[in-house]
Amino acid sequence: MDDPKEYLARLYRLTLGRAPALPDPPVIQVMIPMIGRADAGDWDPHLSRLQDTLESIARQDYDSFRVLLACQDRPPNLPDDPRYHFVPVPPKPKGRGVDHRHKTRAMLDYSVRTFEDGAYAMNLDADDILHPRLFRRVAEGNNGRGYLISDGYMMDAQTGRLARLDDAPGRVPFWKICGSCAFFALDFRDALRSSLRMRILGKAHLDYARRQRLMGLPLDDLPGPAAIYVVNHGGSVSDHKGKGAARLRYLEKHRLAEAEEAAARAEFGLSPI
């Protein structure tokens, strides 16, 4: 029997499945769910990793973007810039685990209330790093449906070492291992379509491509390494799910040679190890 959301995706295609109208050039929207101070224990390491993520956004060579960050507390390093929007959420109920889904819904609701345009929207974890040309690649493609990241890197937060994530034999595509892996074309003037699409997609990144295809809005692959998935810092969702050891084994097996690693870090605007 099909997943209920796959049934809804097929129904969406039959009833609402036209591509949204986006401006040209399009807006790129990043939505970051951030752990709150009370749930973090020590919030400072989370703020440090967020800073790396924000710096990767600041390095983008495409200016038509905005950033939403949802959290119980406003991070002090969130830029005071009209392109950056803080979306406050209430305290997490006791016993609830990672509340990314709740925060993502809050950012979507905020978008529908606030913006009179469309955008390519990305769910971005508060520790991952984007390629400086990523927003431009999406904007220049502007396919009206969305994009999937298959090609990128995994990085050990403790050592800075990199391993390739892609479709090559023996390796794992980026989208199969990291949630910061897709852009979805959304028209926030059409609250019904935008809200329903994002509810159908949910936060299960393994289902993004299939559900988009069932909705009649297939995602195109983005060219070149597009992002870095950062692991081994104790605060990631994979750590909480007990997958940290498997990530480190992958890093050890597929680690880049030193020259290739140095070139990749430079391409992303990162300092040498």
Contact 142, 24 (CB under 8 A): yes
Ranges of each domain in the chain: 4-150+179-223
Residue 93 has pLDDT above 80, yes or no: no
Please, which pLDDT band fits residue 235 given cuts at 50, 70 and 90?
A: low
3-state DSSP assignment of residue 57 = helix
pLDDT at 1: 46
Please, which pLDDT band fits residue 19 given cuts at 50, 70 and 90?
A: confident
- Surface-to-core class of residue 171, CB atoms within 10 Å of its CB (0-12 exposed, 13-18 middle, 19+ buried): middle
119-139: per-residue pLDDT in tens?
999 999 999 999 999 999 999
pLDDT at 63: 96
Please, which pLDDT band fits residue 65 given cuts at 50, 70 and 90?
A: very high
Tokens of 195: 């809200």
Neighbours of 64 (CB within 10 A): 15
Mean pLDDT of the chain: 92
192-218: per-residue pLDDT in tens?
889 898 989 887 899 999 999 999 999
Contact 182, 175 (CB under 8 A): yes
Contact 157, 118 (CB under 8 A): no
Instruction: Write down the pTM of the prediction.
Output: 0.93
User: How long, in residues, is the chain?
Assistant: 273
Among the four given CATH numbers 3.90.550.10, 3.90.440.10, 3.40.50.20, 3.20.20.190, the one describing domain 4-150+179-223: 3.90.550.10
Please, which pLDDT band fits residue 56 given cuts at 50, 70 and 90?
A: very high
Q: How far apart are CA 31 and CA 80, in angstroms?
A: 17
pLDDT at 78: 98
Q: If you average pLDDT over residues 29-48, what whole number do you get?
A: 95
